[in-house]
Amino acid sequence: MSKSKKNIVQTKNQIDKFIKELRTSDFEKYEILIWLRNIVWDTFPKVNETFKYGGIVFSLKENFGGLFVSKKHVSFEFSYGYKLTSKLKLEGTGKYRRHLKVTHLNKEMKKDLISLLEQIRLLDDD
């Protein structure tokens, strides 16, 4: 097996383990994470995933964000969040990153999340 294929398998195994452990330890956050991850995959069928910093990091040409589980919420981090416009309350005061704290399934926010991801697609094409 080539080194890159081995890394892909290792990453998939890490993500699968992370998700399985979350399902056992906190089913509510598991449901939120899976829902958000599915929105990313539905928007970007060829998205790349890696397991970094204790969460799932997404990339197209470059890393654009990730999902991280905290004690009280699931955080959707946006690498270049300062460039994004949204009705959703993106938090963060750093130079680039912004994040969205998701505390419960909120199907009304799906359209706004897809809008953010479409903006990311345009930024990634630049």
Residue 42 sits at the vertex; the CA angle it makes with 24 and 49, to the nearest 5 degrees, is 60
Domains of the chain, earliest start first: 3-125 (3.90.1150.200)
For residues 79 and 99, give the distance between their C-alpha atoms in angstroms, rounded to a whole number. Answer: 9
Block residue for tokens 């449901």: 31
Residues (pLDDT < 70) of the chain are 1-9, 126
| pLDDT value for 29 | 98
In this prediction the pTM is: 0.90
* Collapsed DSSP state (helix, strand, coil) of residue 80: coil
